[in-house]
Every structure is written in structure tokens, then in C-alpha cells.
Amino acid sequence: MVIVVSCDVLGEKNNGTTLAAYNLIGALKKMGHEVRVICSDPERRGESGFFVVKRLPTGRAVAAYLSKNGVALSWPDHEVVARALEGADAVHVMTPFPLGNYTAREAIKRAIPVTAGFHCQAENITSHAYLKNCRPANALIYKIFYKKLYGKVGAVHFPTRFIRDVFEKYGGKTNGYVISNGVGSEFTPGPAPERSEDSKDEFRILFIGRYSREKSHSVLINAVKKSKYRDRIRLIFAGDGPLKDKLKKKASFLPIEPVFRFFGRDELIGVIRDADLYVHPAEIEIEAISCLEAIACGAVPVIADSARSATRYFALDEKNLFKNGDSDSLASRIDWWLDHPDEKKKRSEEYAGYAREFSFDECMKKMEEMIKENAAQSVRDS
């Protein structure tokens, strides 16, 4: 098949949507499909299979803010999109933003079957305007803004049942497929890198995520301050983002200096295997692949029980949950797990087995099936 993937956000691999796009593109190519990618990454200009449009002008307030967050949105170009769609068998749109919406409309005009992915909660948008707790604002995004795309396409990819239920509550029923974005086979338990002599007594607590407001890094920093093991805990914040300097300042009082840096995939696996605990305090999340990757390596997680996050469903026991936004609750959980190493070892083995349900290869096969089934249904309906 000739499959067009429309990416409003594609460039640096510094966010979940970009990673999901690259993973899908690579998997479809590996399966033998011709994949055409519409995006605004200037580094891809002239590269075979890429159709590059301009970026949303940075003079606009939204684009300027996104640029500060290391993200650039694409702006539709009729000629570029038309060339990408010529002779295409199917289109998959990653997000309901200007390029994605335009690509879907143009594909539908040409009777090309369209599917779309759901990778951005309403709260991911409203939180930047300090309105993440404003239900009318969030509902409006689902009912009006998002429905322009998801209400028209033949099938919708939801990474979790949680986000399908959230959207359909406001946007109506869809032909929805619940498919995880998947965990790579390289994320497995294994030996941790050897520690230096002066760090052998440390407890290392890891969190992987962008340095942004909805990830709630501050809750973890405050919890370590309250832990009875605070003098032995080193926090490792794997990621990058606009709040880096603020978070470093907030964590400067901790007895052991935290680590703030982005790790490449191979190095990250070693960091995960070396962690004594993985804490995921994020309040808003569709699917925390970083948490799944950690537990696939055998890390024991402590997860916020936020009602606006699917990550809480990864908990195998109430001891793997803490009260959302409550640093006292999190400190108590951290202390319990560090007090019970035998329980932690047993739970580590259970989590490594549980994570096999999210095999990347199997998830990508399901994505291919969704695209094929939608294309076949479109032929039957025509």
C-alpha cells in the first residue's frame, strides 16, 4: 500500500507524539509499504518519501509558545499535500491540528480512506493557559475542535481505553481502535551499570518525562524532601523541556544533587536498570510509554492516581499508587518500597512479565490492520 502519514509535529524526538510518528513510519516501511510523510521538518527537505511544508509562523502566539517548548507546528500547503496524496491508498493523520485537518479534508475529497491518531488530551492544551481544571474549556476542545477531525475519519487510533472513553463522552462514538504505542524489545531486565564506590549507598529514583507543568516534577521533589531516606536519594529526571531551570532551582535544597538530562535510548536502558524505584507523578497523560519502558526493564513504579491519566491503570497493587499531587502520600510510598527490598524484587519480576502485553511489533501489526480494515471498508461502502 501507499500510505501517507500527516505529521503536524515532527522533528526532534523530544515528545511522545513525534516518537509515535517515527515509530509508526518505520514499522510500516518495514512491513513493505511505501510511506509518504507530510511534515515541516526542514532537515527532511529533499529526502525521498518526505513532503515538506512550512511551519506555523512563529510570530503567532501559539507558535511562539510551542517553539519555546521545543515543538513546531506545520502549516498546510495545497501543492505539497496534493503531491503526497497522488495515488495514495490510505492516509493516517497524527494530530487534529492545521496540517492534519487539511490533509484529512483533501484526502476525503479524493475518496482516499483516512484514519487518525489521538495523542493529545485537551488538558495538554488548556494547562498552558492555566485552565487544565476548567471542565467547560476541556469539553469545548473535544466537542468542537477535535471533532472536526475525529468525527469525519473512518477509524480512530486511541492508545488507551481511558482516552477513548474521555473523547467519546464529549465527541460522540467513533470507530475506535484501542492500540498501545508499544514498547521496544530492547527494554528488558538486565544487569545495571556498575556504580562508583562513593555512590553505592545511594537510592536512585527515576522519572522520565518532559519538563513541563502537567508532568508534576515538583511533587516528586517535595516527596524526597519528606522521605526518611532523603539523605541517600538521588533523583534522576530523564528528559528536557522549558521548566528545566525552574526545576533545578526547586531541587537545589536536596542533600544529593539531582540529575537533569536527556538520555539516548541505549543509555536510558542502563539508567532504568540501575534505578531503585521509578516514580511517575504526571497528572495528565494518554499513555505513558516511558513508564511502560521502565517497568519492562523491571523497574517498580509508584504512579499518581490521577483521574486524568491512563498511567494509573499500570499499577498492579495499591502500593504502586499514591494520591495525585500529594507529596506526603508519595513520600510514604517511597519509604515503604525502600523498606521492603524483597517485596520490591518480587514486584519487579511481575512487572517485567506484565509489560510483554505491550510488545511494539504486535502493536504495529494492529496499527497496520486498522489502516487496512478501514481501506477495505471504504471500498465496500463506495
**Is 187 inside any structural domain?**
no
Do 164 and 253 fall into the same domain? no
Task: Note the pLDDT of residue 138.
Answer: 86
| In a shared domain, residues 153 and 302 | no
Mind listing the pLDDT tens digit for each residue in 113-143?
999 999 988 888 787 667 777 888 888 888 8
| Contact predicate 237/247, CB 8 Å | yes
State residue 124's pLDDT score. Answer: 80
pLDDT along the chain (382 residues), means of 10: 96 82 96 97 94 80 56 88 98 96 97 96 78 84 90 96 93 95 95 90 95 93 98 96 94 96 94 98 92 96 95 95 98 98 96 93 97 91 73
d(CA 321, CA 186): 26
Looking at residue 133, what is its pLDDT? 78
On whether the CB atoms of residues 316 and 354 are closer than 8 A, the answer is yes
Total domains in the chain come to: 2
Asked whether residue 267 falls in the same domain as residue 328, the answer is yes
Whether residues 173 and 207 share a domain: the answer is no
Query: Which pTM value belongs to this model?
Result: 0.88
190 assigned to some structural domain: no
Length of the chain: 382
Question: Is the domain of 223 the same as that of 302?
Answer: yes
Using alpha carbons, list the distances in angstroms from residue 80 to 52, 96, 163: 7, 19, 32
Q: Are residues 77 and 162 in the same domain?
A: yes
Q: Note whether residue 229 is domain-resident.
A: yes
The CATH number for 234's domain is: 3.40.50.2000
Instruction: Give me the pLDDT at residue 17, please.
Output: 87
Do 10 and 85 belong to one domain?
Answer: yes
Same domain, 347 and 369: no
The verdict on 367 and 335 lying in the same domain is no
Residue keyed to cell 468525527: 151
Residues 108 and 141 in one domain: yes
Is the same domain home to 167 and 211?
A: no
179: helix, coil or strand?
coil
Q: Which residue range is the domain that position 290 belongs to?
A: 197-356
**171 and 117, same structural domain?**
yes
Question: How many CA atoms does the CB half-sphere of 300 hold within 13 Å?
Answer: 24
Is 191 part of any domain?
Answer: no
pLDDT of residue 22: 95
Q: Which residue matches cell numbers 536510558?
A: 268
- pLDDT for 372 equals 97
Q: Which residues of 289-323 are buried (b: 16+ CB within 10 A; e: fewer)?
A: bbbbbbbbbbbbbbbbbbebbbbbebbeeebbbbe
